[in-house]
Every structure is written in C-alpha cells, then in structure tokens.
Structure 1
Amino acid sequence: MKVSVDPVLCEANGVCVGILPDVFDLDDDEVLQVRPGELAEGEVESARKSVAACPRNALRLNG
C-alpha cells in the first residue's frame, strides 16, 4: 500500500507529519513530502489515521 498527496489540495498544515513522521515531512518551503515506496505493515494504520485527519482531504491510500 502507498500513500499519495494532491499538492493542489494540500495546505501543508502538518497534521499527517504529527501522526506519521517517518512517512510525511514538510520541506524548507513548507511543501509536504511523502516518502516514496510501499508503506511498512506497521505504518498502514497510522497512514489511515493521517488520511482521515487531513483537513483538506489531500491524502489518499493506494493499493
């Protein structure tokens, strides 16, 4: 399973970073970065929480 971000919708308020900092990060320009590749099995539930908590619905789980 992978997670992706819609950069048009994302306001980079960092809710997802607080939930899953090993997958999400804000760069120096306050643009959300998502670690490439598949989520580890132990990250899937936190990724679901991140998607649900996103105030702009900018995150998606794929796969």
Structure 2
Amino acid sequence: MKLSVDQDLCISCGLCIDTCPSVFDWNDDGKADVVVDEVPDDAEDDAREAMESCPSEAIKED
C-alpha cells in the first residue's frame, strides 16, 4: 500500500500523524507528509484510518 498527501489540500491538523506516526510526519512546510515508501503491513489499519479520517481528504492511495 502506497499513500500520498496532497499538499494543497492538507490543513495541518495533525490527525494523521496522531493516528499513524510510523507513516505520517510533519514536513518542512508544516504540513503532513508520508515518510515511508510503502506502508508496512502492521501499520496498514492505522494508515487507512488516518486516510478515512482526514477532514480535507488530502490523503490518497497511490
């Protein structure tokens, strides 16, 4: 599973980082970003929850 964060849609709420810190973190612009090439199997459920919970729908599956 590969994810990306649309930087134009991200509102920097941090929900994805709180939900799945092994996949998401802040970038230099203060927005959330994906920090892994491929979501580890043991983090997929949390990563999906983060994607589905994103208030601006900025997280997409590639």
Q: Which bin holds the TM-score, normalised by the shorter protein?
A: 0.7 to 0.9
Quote how far apart the aligned CAs of 1:28 are.
Answer: 5.3
Aligned pair count? 62
- Unmatched runs of 5 consecutive residues or more in structure 1: none
Quote how far apart the aligned CAs of 1:9 are.
Answer: 0.5
Amino acid at match of 1:49: E
SS in 2 for 1:33: strand
SS in 1 for 2:37: coil
In the alignment, what sits opposite 1:16? 16
- Unmatched runs of 5 consecutive residues or more in structure 2: none
Amino acid at match of 2:22: D
CA RMSD of aligned residues (A): 1.3
- TM-score by length of structure 2 reads 0.87
Please list the CA deviations of residues 27-59 of structure 1 after superposition, one character each: whole Å capped at 9, or x if unmatched: 454222211311111111111100111000000
- TM-score by length of structure 1 reads 0.86
Identical counterparts, % of pairs:
35
Misfit runs of 4+, over 4 Å: none
